[in-house]
């Protein structure tokens, strides 16, 4: 077969954020690497010209999706590693049928989203952002906001035991929370192993001090959370969404938040960037961030490392950590 050939597709400006020296060395130890030395995303036509003789491809944001037409040029392709988020768009069924292995580095991003979620729970329980506003914007020294709350022993509702959801559950262990999960794909045995209770979605909203959404975007999750769920929440309860706005009835959420009865930390929106005139910007009980929960310097720099390490396992015949099957794609984010 000759020298193993690996295509690296991310443009140079993106590579500065996601390609560490260790990742580069690992890839180069696996064979001849053809680097994208331009600062533009390769077109499908450019990729088709490079695919003959390639054994592996590293993709990321901006890389073209594989199509049956592209795959006709991939005479030796065995593995594709996506150093970014969702791989739902990346490989058609024809590629899986040919035995091409698809890797996803989404688990790396999941670590950052879970860390953000824990921060949201801790900071909001203490109302820290209110004090920050008082001291900086209002130039006041006041403890009149009332007593803050601990995260310890709180009732936490997790919507979906996804990659992020499971990491949040793990981070909550030291706080001895009572964790309930809504996930129709979670078995009783898996719930027991995670140390959580399986509940229906309405019960989760009604009984939780904090509800955190980690469900994927699928046809089944479109506006999964609606008016009745928000109305069932306890006074003062916290709603966190770091998944997608797709999952939430936005009109119902905004109406309940406008009442001031519940609080929220939101990182995702139905329109991004969030319009300047959006009513959410005027609510003191809502903390907003611009879709950054998974965006950290460290997590981005680990993306290609994770893919390169799993490619090394693949070529050594070892068990893979990032492989995504065709069947799993249906319920993934």
Residues belonging to the active site: 244, 272, 291
Nearest to 200 by CA among 223, 177, 181: 181
Is residue 261 packed enough to be buried (19+ CB in 10 Å), middle (13-18) or exposed (0-12)?
A: middle
**Tokens of residue 61, six digits:** 């944001």
Q: How many residues does the chain have?
A: 333
Helix, coil or strand: residue 170: helix
Contact 285, 237 (CB under 8 A): no
Beta partners for 6? 33, 56
CA dist 180 and 123 (Å) reads 21
265: helix, strand or coil: strand
Tell the residue number behind the tokens 């001895």, with chain if given.
Answer: 176
Buried b (16+ CB within 10 A) or exposed e, 209-231: bbbbbbbbbbeebeebbeeebbe
Nearest CA-CA partner of 238 in 278, 266, 197, 199: 266
Q: Write 19-23 long-range contacts (CB < 8 A, 24+).
A: 19/301, 19/304, 20/301, 20/302, 20/304, 20/305, 22/305, 23/304, 23/305, 23/307, 23/308
State how far the Cα of 116 lies from the Cα of 123, in Å rounded to an integer: 10
Distances (CA, A) of 236 to 162, 222, 316: 26, 26, 53
Rounded Cα–Cα distance for residues 209 and 108 (Å): 28
């Amino acid at each position: 077969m000759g020298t193993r050939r690996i295509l690296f597709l991310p443009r140079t400006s993106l590579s500065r954020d996601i390609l560490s020296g260790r990742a580069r060395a690992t890839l180069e130890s696996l064979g001849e690497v053809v680097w994208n030395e331009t600062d533009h995303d390769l077109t499908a036509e450019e990729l088709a010209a490079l695919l003959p003789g390639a054994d592996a491809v590293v993709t990321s944001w901006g890389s073209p999706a594989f199509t049956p037409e592209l795959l006709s040029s991939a005479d030796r392709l065995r593995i594709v590693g996506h150093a970014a988020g969702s791989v739902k768009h990346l490989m058609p069924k024809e590629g899986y049928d040919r035995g091409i292995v698809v890797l996803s580095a989404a688990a790396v991003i999941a670590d950052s989203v879970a860390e953000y979620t824990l921060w949201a729970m801790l900071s909001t329980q203490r109302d820290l952002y209110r004090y920050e506003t008082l001291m900086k914007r209002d130039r006041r020294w006041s403890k009149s906001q009332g007593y803050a709350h601990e995260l310890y022993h709180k009732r936490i509702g997790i919507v979906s035991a996804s990659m992020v959801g499971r990491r949040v559950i793990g981070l909550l262990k030291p706080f001895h929370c009572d964790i309930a999960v809504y996930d129709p794909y979670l078995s009783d045995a898996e719930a027991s192993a995670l140390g959580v209770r399986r509940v229906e979605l309405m019960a989760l909203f009604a009984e939780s001090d904090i509800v955190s959404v980690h469900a994927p975007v699928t046809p089944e999750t479109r506006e999964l959370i609606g008016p009745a769920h928000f109305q069932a929440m306890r006074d003062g309860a916290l709603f966190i969404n770091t998944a997608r706005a797709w999952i939430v009835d936005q009109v119902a959420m905004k109406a309940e938040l406008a009442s001031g009865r519940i609080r929220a930390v939101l990182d995702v929106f139905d329109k991004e960037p969030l319009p300047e005139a959006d009513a959410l910007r005027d609510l003191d009980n809502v903390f907003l961030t611009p879709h950054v929960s998974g965006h950290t310097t460290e997590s981005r720099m680990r993306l290609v490392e994770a893919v390169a390490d799993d490619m090394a396992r693949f070529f050594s015949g070892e068990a893979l950590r990032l492989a995504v099957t065709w069947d799993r794609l249906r319920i993934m984010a």
